[in-house]
Structure 1
Amino acid sequence: MDDPVFVIHGVANRDQPGFAAAVADLQAASGHDMVPVYWGDLGADDRFVTAAIPTRTGAPSSARKGDGLRAGDGPPDATGPEPWLASALVADTLASDQWPRVETAVRERLADEDSDSGLRDGPHHSDVDEFLEYLAEEWPRTRWLRRTDDPVLLLETGRSLAEALIEADDLRADGIGSYDGLRAGDEDEGRLRRMLRNRLRDLDRVAGAAIQAAAGRLNCALRTEFGPATTRFLGDVLVYQRHRDAIHARVRQSIDSVDPALGRTPDRPVRVVAHSLGGVIAVDMATAADPLWTSSLVTFGSQAAFFHACDPRGGQILPYSGGRPVVLPASLARWTNLWEPLDMLAFVAAGVFRLHDGSSPVDVSVPHAASSGMWTHSSYWGMPFVASEISTAMNGG
């Protein structure tokens, strides 16, 4: 019968029963007997960390009467979520190459229409040039579009403006007016000019609403998830640096409770699964002068490589010099490192480390689950993909 897999939790875990339940679920999903290793009571005192986190003050201006999408022709305010946050998602000033990219998109869309269905008597080059010149004058009056440097948004904006010209051509083809009539109308402003101007303003409002929606969601994540969670992460990191021996002793105690011989020699290595700072703990112990012999390690959302690159961990491993990866001792035989793309606290290992046999730690990207939201550092536990990778690694794959 195989020895159990020891599971070490990461930062900000103060719920021992909850952690035990998560390990039980992971055991059922992976098919491997697992033992939870709890050290959260030795971590930072995180009861009062919110006292040090800036809070948002004042009501958003979008809540004031007259603001938002219903405020006439103007785009919505940048002050919906946070002024600085919304403005951070766009450029500060008008980029010199914005309008040429929009103009190119307009001409290409018209060329496609001419090729596919034929703008038989559609806008001539002189007409298109005149309309584009008018739009170029209107472009600096936009609030959001003039500040974007996103090529896709600029492309789609140009294509939408071209669609307005195509729609006008369809009207003319149906006998409703002419380009001359569309150009020159009431107060010397033709219907087509008003159509193009209104289309541009509509696009600007949609872009502003989308930017504010993204800023609002990011603001919520920063305030409710990223801020406190990152602060708790830093607190546990600081405590681990000061009380590493006590935390290692707790891990050793959990292993000894199963079999005191486990991990002491190459003949009785342990298998370890570790989340976040737990992965740092596992690597530190496996590479210490008196190592925890580990046959297979799976880390997820972990920072071992990042920490070693910034501050060499010591033990049997040399500092990372920026050239060749650091060779790990034989006491860490296999290592699978899982990371989720939106997890800001997850790092890859193969760029910093090599295993003793010359192979690399296996870095595996975990597919993002929409249900995870924006704070994904704690999302690994319930993912079938993670359980499958653990099962494969623990089976020697």
Structure 2
Amino acid sequence: MKDPVFVVHGVANRDREEFTAAVSVLAAAAGVDMVPVHWGDLGAQDRFIDAALPVHQTGPDGLRDGEAPQPLPAGPFTAALLGETIDEGRQLSQVDAALRAQLAAANDAEDEGLRDGAGQGLDPDLVVEFVREAWADTEWLSRTADAQLLREAGRALAHALLDETTPGSDDPYGGLRGGEADSDSRLRSLVRRRLDDLDRVAGAAVQAMGARLNHAVRSRFGPGTTRFLGDVLVYQRHRDAVHARVREIIDEVDPGLGRTPARPVRIVAHSLGGVIAVDMATATVPLWTESLVTFGSQAAFFHVCDPRGGQLTPYGGSLPVELPASLNRWTNLWEPLDVLAFAAAKVFRLHDGTAPVDVLVDHQPGTGMWTHSAYWNLPAVASVIGDVMGRDQQEHGRGPGRSPATGPSPHRFSGG
């Protein structure tokens, strides 16, 4: 009889039945018998975490569903959304080129009789001179390094000037064509006014984007990150209790599993579950582990920041840390948008001198931006688990490994 693969979840997992269902779907997709290891009831008390998360207030009850977030106040943070400030000359060169190109195109059209002479009195050099005079007074445009935004501002300014200097225009600044003494001052005022208009539009767009981004971070990413930190803090303080829970569930299958090199376990672990698995496999009295597959995990990050102890030496920055024979094989999966996923190959070496295998899991557009919980439903993850554990079974005489199965419809699991 072959031994099952034990699955250890990560942070913010309180629903045992939901986790068990997710493991069943993963087992079917990977073609591997699995046993869920649930320790979430020992984690942080997260019922009231929302009370500690700051919100952008819009009234006595805060931001309500369906209510647009208020714009953020202007300042360095909001302006930074436009990019780092660059040299003013480089900024104005983008505006200059786009503005001149648009005015030239208008003049070409006039030569073909398409615009009825609009813009023939606009001197590009003079317009650019007035733009340079007014540029420092802009609040948003002068802070952007975005070339496309600057070029669009130049084109839009040219369009506005052409429209308002068309003969017969009702605009009070129309008819800037005769070289009169006050024409230059009128053009200067017109350039400043239209540049101010464009600056306000850019500012409103950035403020709205910043407010919505702030609201998304607070409402979507904030709770997940906070629950992650909560469970990490609890695990650091109550590591023995969590390890005892893992050991208890393994013992329910077979008390001899993981206690000697002759009967190692196989483990799949997500997020903090991977840290738990590595801690147990490298402890002074280890959980002997034949194969470990982690996804979205932080074992290397934690060890670099705070050496884990047990049989592990601290990471010195040049040579990787040697893992004991009690952790025989390690495959570590990470997704590029998962900010809680870390690589293991540079920090650790297995006892045979090889590195843990870091595997990039391609981002799937349907998973959105918070991808830390998406691994459970990704076919690539099930495929890697099936390959690793199936190969392990074949190499150690536990029977032929099964190729990854299609399995039932994916269970949308949002736990860690």
What TM-score, normalized by structure 1, do the two folds share?
0.78
* CA spacing shift, 1:192–1:159, aligned 2, 3 Å: farther
Q: Which has the larger radius of gyration?
A: 2
Query: 1: CA distance between counterparts of 2:385 and 2:186?
Result: 65
Structure 1 window deviating more from structure 2 (185-194 vs 39-48): it is: 185-194
**1:343 aligned onto 2:338:** yes
Equivalent in the alignment of 1:240: 235
SS of structure 1 residue aligned to 2:41: helix
Equivalent in the alignment of 1:158: 151
**1:29 aligned onto 2:29:** yes
* CA spacing shift, 1:396–1:196, aligned 2, 3 Å: farther
Q: Note the aligned Cα RMSD (angstroms).
A: 4.2
Query: 2: CA distance between counterparts of 1:250 and 1:231?
Result: 24
* CA spacing shift, 1:261–1:160, aligned 2, 3 Å: same
Structure 1 window deviating more from structure 2 (185-194 vs 22-31): it is: 185-194
CA-CA distance at 1:106 after TM superposition: 4.4
List gaps (5 residues or longer) in structure 1: 69-78
Equivalent in the alignment of 2:312: 317
Query: 2: CA distance between counterparts of 1:185 and 1:301?
Result: 70
What are the Cα deviations for residues 340-391 of structure 1, in whole angstroms up to 9, with x where unaligned? 3333322222232122222222223333344434433222222223223323
What TM-score, normalized by structure 2, do the two folds share?
0.74
**1:134 aligned onto 2:130:** yes
Query: Would the aligned equivalents of 2:58 and 2:70 in 1 still touch at CA under 8 Å?
Result: no
Count of matched residue positions in the alignment of Structure 1 and Structure 2 = 374
Query: 2: CA distance between counterparts of 1:248 and 1:194?
Result: 73
AA partner of residue 17 (structure 2): P
Query: Would the aligned equivalents of 1:276 and 1:300 in 2 still touch at CA under 8 Å?
Result: yes
From 281, 289, 294, give the equivalent of 1:286: 281
Query: Would the aligned equivalents of 2:81 and 2:206 in 1 still touch at CA under 8 Å?
Result: no
Query: Would the aligned equivalents of 2:295 and 2:333 in 1 still touch at CA under 8 Å?
Result: yes
List gaps (5 residues or longer) in structure 2: 112-118, 170-174, 393-416
Q: Percent identity?
A: 56
Give the number of the structure with larger relative contact order, counting CA–CA contacts within 8 Å between residues 6 or more apart.
Answer: 2
Query: 1: CA distance between counterparts of 2:163 and 2:317?
Result: 63
Equivalent in the alignment of 2:73: 83
From 247, 263, 270, give the equivalent of 2:265: 270
CA-CA distance at 1:89 after TM superposition: 4.0
CA-CA distance at 1:235 after TM superposition: 2.1
Query: Would the aligned equivalents of 2:12 and 2:43 in 1 still touch at CA under 8 Å?
Result: yes
SS of structure 1 residue aligned to 2:269: strand
* CA spacing shift, 1:143–1:170, aligned 2, 3 Å: closer
* CA spacing shift, 1:131–1:362, aligned 2, 3 Å: farther
Question: Where has structure 1 moved over 6 Å in runs of 4 or more?
Answer: 92-96, 110-116, 118-124, 166-172, 174-177, 190-195
**1:362 aligned onto 2:352:** no
1:126-275 equivalent positions in 2, closer than 5 A: 127-148=123-144, 150=145, 153-158=146-151, 160-162=153-155, 165=158, 181=176, 188=183, 200-201=195-196, 203-275=198-270
What are the Cα deviations for residues 315-345 of structure 1, in whole angstroms up to 9, with x where unaligned? 1110112221111112212222222333332
Query: Would the aligned equivalents of 1:157 and 1:203 in 2 still touch at CA under 8 Å?
Result: no
Equivalent in the alignment of 1:20: 20
AA partner of residue 387 (structure 2): T
Query: Would the aligned equivalents of 2:12 and 2:231 in 1 still touch at CA under 8 Å?
Result: yes
* CA spacing shift, 1:121–1:57, aligned 2, 3 Å: closer
Query: Would the aligned equivalents of 2:102 and 2:158 in 1 still touch at CA under 8 Å?
Result: no
Equivalent in the alignment of 2:348: 353
